[in-house]
A and B are shown apart, each in its own frame.
Chain A
Amino acid sequence: MAIIEVKDLVKHYGEQRAADGVSFTVDEGEIFGILGPNGAGKTTTVECVAGLRDRDAGTVSVMGLDPARDAKELKQILGVQLQESRLPDKMRVGEALDLYRSFYPNPADPDRLIESLGLGAKRRTPFGKLSGGQQQRLSIALALIGNPRIAVLDELTTGLDPQARRDTWDLIEQVRDTGVTIILVTHFMDEAERLCDRLAVIDSGKVVAVDSPAGLTARVSAEQRVRFRPSAEFADALLLDLPEVAGVERNGPQVVVSGSGNLLQAVASVLARNHIVAADLRVEQVSLDDAFVALTGKSIEN
């Protein structure tokens, strides 16, 4: 069931159209990704959904509320973790939660939240003395302290080290498991691939595609490649006879087999039957990165 519906959302800043007819729906209980390069209009879109910015055109409905009209009610059921929102350096973790808790009618239990976010030992630590990952976790805690039905998380692993990123991902999955619907704004492919049930690819203020990560890659191409170095010579026909194989290329000592379906299994068993050992065996699949390039005509990093 759709918990958020966005239709033909338009928002411009002067001449620039940050959101140019954005439409998507988010289902209850899913992690919905908004993926796009910097400046694509991701933040503008979620700000219009969260009632932080007024849209110029289109309709937005969040659990039946219109963010432009019902911003106050909306903020009680929607928690937001914004990019680069800090706290005063000398405010302590426990104090921040206690303060933000008082802003909501039915807040969460701050002690349980602190424990579940792994900040139990940091209760008396001031914000300025927390590591980047801990600050980010506190930020998530503040987005969740109001017991929201929906949490919007904007670029939350930017600037974190790999371990802290993985910990944050686990945390988001835990939050989803408690029934909170999550909108995750990101420009990291691996993050989108790992976490999102579905995602909207946004580029230049427009939605290019909405699908699951697997659906997006399948859209671009179902082709796979298997690459290996054979221990003995063999004729290409050996592999070309297989229904899964579309082509065989030779690249010096390397053989590159392209095809679809259960390609790896088919190739491996034929080689094994012929007593050929495949060294440096690698399977290459179309990644979300490739899908993104195919959909938008550019790489996400630029």
Chain B
Amino acid sequence: MSSFMKLVQAEARLFVRDTTALVVGLLLPAVILLGLGAVPMLREPSPEMGGIRFIDYFAPSMIVMSVGVVGLTNLPTVMAGYRERGVLRRMRTTPVHPAKLLSAQLVVNVGAALVSSLLVIVAGRIAYGVPLPESPLWFALAFVLGITAVFALGMLVAATAATSRAASGIASVLFMSTMFFGGVYLPRFMLPDAVARIGDFVPPGVQTLLDSWNGETPAALPLLVMAATALAAGTASARIFKWE
């Protein structure tokens, strides 16, 4: 097996052994959706949400959470921890550059975000008949751009944080902003218009997820903003990443 595959295997094992990452990162979003759906009122079509049910409206917000937990919390904390503990430094003494370890972390965390999002979609579908995304291609595009932007921001935090505590401090501010604007804390129809409008542009872009889920073509501008964020944050983090 190549050294990269070995690294992916090792990081995946560590992810699974970390109970918090496993429960919060993989299961919690689906569990919350299942919990809310248990309230009958939330399964009734509601005029405030344009005649759709709360549970349908809220599902994309749980995807925001899935992506945010692993990309903004787990990834930077783990990478900064590796810097703090000298794991990166030790790898620098081997013929394999620690950039490969970072790539393996990305593979594992993106994988976790995919599984977690899939669990949300499947749980909503099976338990409450939440329809599957109706424009699958647009949804896929919105998801890929959104997840890339979130992970690029996570990488930016991971790039220089000296300790995992520092990383989780910065990351939690980003994470909470993302959750707030993504309508996780308060459903977005309850947020002031301006806040909801800003939320369209905050990665991973909850409105584009919702639109494509409902079979509409998402607006171009938020998608472009996601792509630009991904590019800018990704490039910046690659430039400044401290390998020890």
Which residue numbers of A lie inside 8 Å of B, CB to CB? 50, 52, 72, 75-76, 79-80, 82, 84-88, 90-91, 95, 98-100, 102-105, 142-143, 146
Contacts and interface: CB of A to CB of B under 8 A. Distances in A.
Given A75-B94, A102-B2, A85 B10 contact: no
Interface in B1-25: 1-3, 6-7, 10, 13-14, 17-18
A82 B89 contact: yes
B6 A99 contact: yes
B92 interface: yes
Contacts of A88: 14, 81-82, 85, 87
B97 to A, nearest CB: 9
B165 interface: no
Nearest to B84: A86
Main SS of chain A's interface residues? loop
A91 B94 contact: no
Given A95-B10, A102-B3, A76 B95 contact: yes
Contacts of B10: 91, 95, 99
Contact of B87 (A76, A87, A102): A87
B243 to A, nearest CB: 10
B96 interface: yes
Given A95-B13, A102-B6, A103-B96, A85 B90 contact: yes
B18 A86 contact: no
Contacts of A87: 85, 87, 90
A84 B14 CA distance: 21
Nearest to B91: A103
A37 B126 CA distance: 67
A151 B110 CA distance: 37
B45 interface: no
Given A99-B10, A102-B2, 15 more contacts: A52-B93, A76-B95, A82-B90, A85-B85, A87-B90, A88-B14, A91-B13, A91-B14, A95-B13, A102-B3, A102-B6, A103-B94, A104-B95, A142-B90, A146-B95
A82 B81 CA distance: 17
Q: Which 4 A-B pairs have the closest CB atoms?
A: A85-B86, A80-B93, A85-B90, A86-B85
B10 to A, nearest CB: 5
A72 B95 contact: yes
Nearest to B94: A103
Contacts of A90: 14, 17-18
Contact of A79 (B7, B82, B92, B93): B93
A198 to B, nearest CB: 24
Given A85-B87, A91-B10, A95-B13, A75 B93 contact: yes
Nearest to B244: A52
Contacts of B6: 98-99, 102
Nearest to B95: A75
A142 B96 CA distance: 13
A82 B85 CA distance: 11
B14 A85 contact: no
A98 B90 CA distance: 15
Nearest to B97: A72
Interface in B53-77: none
Nearest to B86: A85
